[in-house]
Structure 1
Amino acid sequence: MANPLIAIVGRPNVGKSTLFNKIAGRKISITENRPGVTRDRLYADASWRGRNFTVVDTGGIELKSEDVMWKEILRQADTAIETAEVILLMLDGREELTASDYDVAEKLRRSKKPVILVINKVDNYSPDKLSEYYALGLGEPFAVSAEHSQGIGDVLDEALTYFGDGEEEDTESLKIAVVGKPNAGKSSLVNRLLGFERSIVTDIAGTTRDAIDTRFTLDGQKYTLIDTAGIRRKKNVSDDVEYYSVMRAFDAVRRADVCLLVVDSAEGLTEQDVKIIGYVHEQGKPSVIVMNKWDVIEKDSKTINKFEEKLHFDLKFMDYFKSVYISAKTGQRADKVLKIAREAFENTNRRITTGTLNDLMLDAVRTNEPPATGGRRLKIYYCSQPSVCPPTFVLFVNDEELMHFSYKRYLENVLRRSFDFSGTPIRIVCRKRSETEGGY
């Protein structure tokens, strides 16, 4: 159900990030003429000839380096290779083939994945320039100049041939990723929601290795539940299999419409829980905090209120969250989870008309005028909402530097008090306009 994935790999400084940015249609990766700039995998959704796909940029591969950083970059690249439908191996056409190039080519052949050989920095193409690359045993090389956008279309045409007919994108199904630490009850919750045992449930942390997708329909609404591996602290990840499982869990967050963040109520919100929730927040995903194992908590009339106060204190950076207190084991309040997830999804798709937004911003500025900085005061000319998922608001101002984070937070609170954005982050972006236009 996810878009086909194209992974760009190769040695450092061959132009991978430049190609990634060209395919993505915007500058996402940092491009700099020194090795090691790209360390983590970066994703971007793109399309070519009407076909949607996702492209991933990876750090430069140094197979024989013992440096800790290069080993970590290699692990990230391995994950991209493992999950990709097509791999683009990129080489520098201005350099001679090296032993490392042959090693990388051999590594990719062992992956059994389709590999397209991309020779970059070939500004003046001639067949003779590419003849030596057939020795890598990866088929016909494609000459490109990523910097000048030459030859990229031919590479993408070739990549499309490996996607097959594909599965029609499931736009009706609400994709819900169930994430959290090991043994918090994620699989038990999935099984409870489905009404049958889809995932293996044990008390052993790490039972679920892969992100498991299950479709079902309830009350006429289509859902896809994505059960994921427990996400442990990085230093506690014991082997490569578990490492890949954790990476797949993060990938599940990226492609989900809503995330259920399952927390063990008996243990309480931990530092690792906060990190996982923070990742979901950074990805701009609507979320529901599911406090599981509520059946084992000794309760009185104030227990939930105390838990809620603690959650809001620990999650001050995203106090928009929705929460529900359940027992996946007994079924207590489990029937509310999907309803709340649906509400969060509706809120992240909420659009406000430009006229209503500007009336609201005008009242907000009149009620609390922006503070002056260095003798200059922020002026807001007008506001619009160009996108949803998450709701994004653009403020056209006289100088973006004059927007203090506290005033941006004030405006966010104004938006949240006026409209129901519970369960979803919102983004406020400032763009500079001429001071001659006047402001609120």
Structure 2
Amino acid sequence: MNPSQPLPQPRTSAPARGIAAIVGRPNVGKSALFNRLMGQRVAIVEDEPGTTRDRLYGTVEWRGREFTIVDTGGIEEPRGDAVRAAVRAQAEAAIEEADAVLFVVDAASGMIGVDQDVAELLRKSGKPVILIANKAESERRAMAATEFYALGLSDPLPVSALHGTGTGDLLDAVVAALPEREEVTVEADARIAIVGRPNVGKSSLLNIIVGSERAVVGPKPGTTRDPVDTMLDRDGRRVLLVDTAGLRRRGKIEPGLEAYATLRTVRAVDRSDVAILLIDATEGVTAQDLHVAGYVLEEFKGLVVGVNKWDAVERGEATTEAARADLRRAFHFAPWAPEIFLSAKTGRNVGAIMDAALAAANERRKRVDPAELRRFLVDALGKHPPPSDGGVQLRFTHVLQSELPEPVFVFFVNRPDAVHFSYRRYLENELRRRFGFAGTPIRLVFKGGRD
């Protein structure tokens, strides 16, 4: 589908998930608590190295409510004299961007000055705060947690991230603290988020996109806690740029304040159809770039990789090919994601990256004719029959496309659990070869019967 063609239909926005941010000084068990709350939820790319392992954010569902938890301290733990300033920065980020703050203290070592500093910030913010006394593995430690009443926050919840005790009460408290989000109806043909590490040029790209488009409609407010978006008209299509206020809110983000960017990324990806992941050509692909890409895939959103500051590197055919090879290696878990080399400073390829993002939005909503799907399955099975499992031949009988707005394909097979990962990948590659779906993940579901 050509990016110049109109998108299938406008969509309305869904209420954004609430965000709960974990803050606290080093060694109180923030990451252990994060991992405990994530439980056994496996990301769709978890088996691929360099993607969502050791991730900093994830989605939790508890008592029918979905929300995102962010480990702000998992980005880079401060050391030495930097501890106090960095922990304060984490708290400030949570106050600015999150809907509720999970303030973790150490029931084993007791209260120290940094805890009091953070508590003072949180008290003044008026933001919902859940005070978690972690490492309460014994009754004695749970009783010792009462000293944290002195912080003047909520009742301390004794929790053991190590053993999982108290996490049910904690999740109840999070659900109760998160504000209800009203659905806001905003008609748009595509919802695009510009995401990436601090200082890669996101604001510059935003400004040149908005400045170059005609008939900018202006800012569109979301709910009271949602960031302000920008609606623009591009060749007759309504394009919503998500969280443009978030990109403009802060200038250059200093080292140690990455928590701001992390929280902003989670919120923007949650509310988008397609994310433009901007990376810095002068620095190459970093672990944090891969973390962001992993989160985009985990949330089943479209992805376009933009290599910014291309004007600042020595260019040539060999350089470009080497850069493409590096990108393919780094983003091997998303070979379908377009790669655009651009310069937000000069305007080079800014139009191309918008075209790629709109094309990805097109592909996400593309419907495949059922007859074409049947022919695809016959051809794919004939070209590469499925391997047997323990002597039992796998038999595929039918495939259909789900009614979901995203590309999900349901295959009916006699032994769905026996479909090997390699054959799943083969079917996905054949679907893409035949029908496209560039710029968007697709999901394959295997069921044991027609119903």
Q: TM-score range by the shorter chain?
A: 0.5 to 0.7
- Report deviation, 1:320: 1.6
Cα distance in 1 for residues equivalent to 2:372 and 2:294: 27
- For the structure 1 residues 403 and 46, does the alpha-carbon distance in structure 2 shift closer, same or farther, using more than 3 Å as the test? closer
What letter matches 2:438 in structure 1?
S
Query: Larger RCO: Structure 1 or Structure 2 (Cα < 8 Å, ≥ 6 residues apart)?
Result: 2
- Following superposition, the deviation at residue 349 of structure 1 comes to 3.3
1:6-405 equivalent positions in 2, closer than 5 A:
6-7=20-21, 12=29, 20=37, 27-28=40-41, 41-44=56-59, 54-56=67-69, 58=71, 81-82=94-95, 83-88=97-102, 100=110, 106=116, 108-112=118-122, 113-117=127-131, 137-139=152-154, 155=173, 158-160=176-178, 163=179, 168-169=183-184, 171-172=186-187, 174-180=190-196, 185-195=201-211, 214-218=229-233, 219=236, 221-226=238-243, 239-241=255-257, 243-248=258-263, 250-251=265-266, 254-255=269-270, 256-262=272-278, 271-272=284-285, 276=289, 279-280=292-293, 283-284=296-297, 285-290=301-306, 292=308, 310=325, 314=329, 315-324=331-340, 326-352=342-368, 357-372=373-388, 375-386=391-402, 391-397=407-413, 398=415, 400-405=417-422
The Cα shift of 1:322 comes to 2.7
SS at match of 1:272: coil
Q: Provide the aligned length of Structure 1 versus Structure 2.
A: 377
- Deviation of 1:354 (Å): 6.8
Aligned AA (1:155): A
Once residues 329 and 119 of structure 1 are traced to their aligned partners in structure 2, the CA distance between those partners, rounded to angstroms, is 48
Distance 1:152 1:418 in 2: 48
Deviation, structure 1 residue 272: 1.4
Paired with 2:31 and 2:295, the residues of 1 have a C-alpha distance of: 30
**Is the CA contact 1:281–1:425 (under 8 Å) kept in the aligned structure 2?**
no
Kindly tell me: are residues 239 and 326 of structure 1, through their superposed partners in 2, closer, same or farther at Cα, counting changes over 3 Å? Answer: closer
Query: What is the root-mean-square deviation of aligned Cα atoms in Å?
Result: 5.7
**Structure 2 CA distance for aligned equivalents of residues 53 and 318 of structure 1:** 26
1:86 is aligned with what amino acid? A
Do the aligned partners of residues 279 and 400 (structure 1) sit closer, same or farther apart at CA in structure 2, a change above 3 Å counting? farther
Q: Superposition pairs for residues 410-421 of structure 1, below 5 Å?
A: 410-421=426-437
Do 2:17 and 2:68's aligned partners in 1 also have CA atoms closer than 8 Å?
A: no
Which structure has the larger Rg over C-alpha atoms?
A: 1
Gaps of 5+ in 2: 1-14, 44-52, 137-142, 213-226, 248-252
C-alpha distance after superposition, 1:32-74 (max 9, x if no partner): xxxxxx975433265879xx7634165999xx9989xx99x98
Q: For residues 66 and 6 of structure 1, what CA distance do their matches in structure 2 show? A: 25
One-letter code aligned to 2:119: R
SS of 1:100's partner is: coil
Secondary structure of the structure 1 residue equivalent to 2:428: helix
| Deviation of 1:418 (Å) | 2.7
Q: Note the alpha carbon deviations across 1:168-207, whole angstroms, 9 max, x for none.
A: 54654544333456765443322111118xxxxxxxxxxx
- TM-score in terms of structure 2 length: 0.59
C-alpha displacement of 1:416: 1.0
Question: Matched residues, percent identical?
Answer: 26
